């Protein structure tokens, strides 16, 4: 795990700036690179340390997807996008295949409690 030093700008206000532009997840003060984020998310799935929202379950039902399809997409997928402008924390869009080969998108967030929250899951048309 790599820890990055936060630099501060000179001037009246101290604004934190990161030395590198690589993706990071900040959990309990530790910065984690993009490849480690996906590994962390996959570990949460394997260890059953995740919550699925009611919205995600509704979307999965509409697209005829099951929990195993969501897990398969996370295990075989890649992080395609991150959403950082949310006061509740960074969200990630993981895109991967369902068991039947359809392309599935999983939007998730790692909570401060160290659990993974599955916000929504949907199949691309």
Q: pLDDT-based confidence at 81, cuts 50/70/90?
A: very high
Q: Which residue(s) pair with 56 in the sheet?
A: none
| Structural domain harbouring 90 | 6-123
Look at residue 18 and tell me if it is in a domain.
yes
Question: Nearest-CA neighbor of 93 among 101, 104, 23?
Answer: 104
Question: Nearest-CA neighbor of 44 among 32, 55, 54, 60?
Answer: 32
Look at residue 11 and tell me if it is in a domain.
yes
Determine the pLDDT at residue 104: 98
User: Residues 13-19: what's their mean pLDDT?
Assistant: 41
Look at residue 1 and tell me if it is in a domain.
no
Q: What is the CA radius of gyration of the chain?
A: 16
The predicted model scores a pTM of: 0.73
Q: Domain of 63: which CATH number?
A: 3.30.2310
Question: Nearest-CA neighbor of 32 among 119, 81, 90?
Answer: 90
Determine the pLDDT at residue 5: 38
Q: Average model confidence (pLDDT) for the chain?
A: 82
List, in order, residues 6 or more apart from 36 with CB less than 8 Å away: 1, 25
List, in order, residues 6 or more apart from 15 with CB less than 8 Å away: 8, 9
pLDDT exceeds 50 at position 96: yes
Out of 21-25, 47-51, 78-82, 97-101, pick the least confident: 21-25
What is d(CA 67, CA 59) in angstroms, rounded to the nearest whole number? 12
Look at residue 86 and tell me if it is in a domain.
yes
- Both tokens assigned to 9: 């700008």
pLDDT exceeds 90 at position 47: yes
- 25 vs 55, which has greater pLDDT? 55
Q: How many folded domains does the chain comprise?
A: 1
pLDDT exceeds 60 at position 8: no
């Amino acid at each position: 795990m790599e820890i990055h030093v936060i630099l501060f700008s000179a001037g009246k206000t101290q604004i934190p700036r990161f030395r590198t532009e690589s993706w990071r997840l900040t959990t309990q003060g530790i910065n984690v690179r993009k490849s480690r984020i996906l590994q962390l998310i996959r570990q949460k799935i394997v260890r059953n340390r995740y919550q699925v929202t009611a919205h995600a379950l509704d979307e999965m039902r509409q697209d005829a997807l099951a929990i195993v399809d969501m897990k398969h997409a996370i295990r075989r997928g890649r992080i395609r996008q991150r959403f950082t402008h949310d006061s509740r924390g960074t969200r990630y869009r993981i895109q991967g295949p369902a068991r039947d080969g359809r392309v599935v998108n999983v939007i998730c967030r790692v909570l401060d409690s160290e659990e993974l929250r599955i916000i929504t899951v949907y199949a691309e048309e």
